[in-house]
Amino acid sequence: MVFNSYTFIVFFILIFLLHNLPFSWRTKKINLLIASYIFYAAWNPPFILLLWLSTVVDFFVGRALYTQENPHKKKLLLVISLIGNLGMLCFFKYGTFLLENFVSLCHLVGLNYHPATPSIILPAGISFYTFTTLCYTIDMYKKRSEPVKSMLDFSLFVTFFPHLVAGPIVRPPQLVPQFETERRANSKQIIDGLLLLTLGLFMKVVLADSMLADTADAVFDAKEALPMLDAWVGVFAFSGQIFLDFAGYSTCAIGVAMCLGFVLPQNFNYPYAAIGFSDFWRRWHITLSSWLRDYLYIPLGGNRHGKARTYFALMMTMLLGGLWHGANWTFVAWGGLHGIYLWVEKFFKDRKKIDNPKGIVDENSNWVGFCYAFLTFMLVNVTWVFFRSDTFAKSWQMLQSMSGYVCSDKALLTTLAIAKVAVIIPLILVFHWMMRNTKVLEVAYKISWIWLGIVWSFLLLAIIFAQESGSSFIYFQF
């Protein structure tokens, strides 16, 4: 089930009504849990068994980790959790990828090995809920927080439908305490939540799908070299599409949860206004960035063991972060390129003794800062080539077309397609820059109800007229 479908509208209205009926808090939580399983089962019902297995195992293993004093038994319990979670993730997400690379390695050394091609279906959201449960058991191992007392609360923490399929990636202290006492949205939360839901759907349905998706698909699906202009327009289109699609989902998720009285963490903070790449990763997919920082970068040494160790930890974190996004070497290259960017940035920061990229400029309102942000945006667009391309050959063809080294004189895109991108992408950049230190709801509070109503009505009408079918969000496949 997707947020941008009529089925979800009916589903959400029913859940909202049930949640506001005079039932006991336990009954309401059971209703939410059942609703979450129904939401997930709309994709493929048998995969609910994976959710149950992950939930049950990590609930009991997490409790045992917290109380176990024997260090050897404690490590064994952690290994059980890691094998259970990462084992499922590796099989379903990376099984075919690992087999293909093993076969290629066999052929490289002269072995004629041709196994049957496995037919493995990737469960929706497995990357997200695996990280959600993993952070719980690791926290229990390190005693960062107390174990969840109720299986019902833990099950709801893992499967709460707004964040289940594509995040935000929540941690126990962020959500579990909200299940311990009754939650019911007040009128302000409902209005705010519906506004965020409308905005998220507008970003996804109107801008990402109707305005940019076709252009991005046409360029990246091209079989031959493209004109330089078409190549850049296609990359810009995908850059806008993936932001609007994924940030749109996160905005919908936060809005839906808010309508029910719950608060989910922010996942995007105007990333295309980032000044530098460490700033970019503080603004893009924030919950994943913080997860990788706390559970990968810091355990690898972080910045505590000298520069060489720091550079190693940075690169490994970005490479594994790239692999998390998809079972393809192009994703690893995408992460590696971001790692190189971070290396270069850190090198100059260390030389200039600057604590963060924003120290390069005086304030975010000046033109120098905007130029740094624009440079960051352009370099990020180069990385999107690897993220969107299926093969390195396709990536190389695209980069050659973008550089003008190998390009075609035969135009692919229409004037209208180019015009859409030429309008939307600059508007995104300007909007991000103007909003980089504020929030949408804060701006909404400052304008009159008349203007807010006009804008809101425009968003709704645009969604209604643009809606043709409930296409999946891009990150569902990751």
Length of the chain: 478
Q: Which amino acid is at 129?
A: Y
CB contact set of 20 (below 8 Å; sequence gap of 6+): 184
* Consecutive H or E run containing 37: helix 25-41
Strands (E), 28-124: none
With beta carbons less than 8 A apart as the criterion, state whether 313 and 302 touch: yes
CA separation for the pair 283, 233 (Å, rounded): 24
Q: How far apart are CA 221 and CA 219, in angstroms?
A: 6
333: its two tokens: 């290259």
Residue with token string 């490590």:
75
**Contact between residue 272 and residue 432 where contact means Cβ atoms under 8 Å apart:** yes
Amino acid at 367: W
Cβ atoms of 120 and 91 within 8 Å: the answer is: yes
Whether 58 contacts 80, CB under 8 Å: no
Task: Give me the catalytic one of 163, 285, 325, 432.
Answer: 325
Exposed, middle or buried by CB within 10 Å (0-12, 13-18, 19+), for 283? buried
According to DSSP, residue 358 is labeled G
DSSP-H helix ranges across 260-364 = 277-281, 286-292, 307-325, 329-352
Burial class (CB in 10 A: 0-12, 13-18, 19+), 220: buried
What span, in angstroms and rounded, lies between the C-alpha atoms of 339 and 288? 15
Is the distance from CB of 130 to CB of 54 less than 8 angstroms?
yes
Tokens representing residue 315 in the block: 């690169």
Using only the alpha carbons of the chain, give its radius of gyration.
23
- Distance between CA atoms of 33 and 40, rounded to whole angstroms? 11
Kindly list the distances between the CA atom of residue 276 and the CA atoms of 191, 243, 317, 380, in Å, as whole numbers in the listed order.
35, 17, 18, 10
Phi, psi (deg, nearest 5) at residue 459: -60, -45
338 is a catalytic site residue:
no
Burial (CB < 10 A; 0-12, 13-18, 19+), residue 198, is: buried
Residues designated catalytic: 325
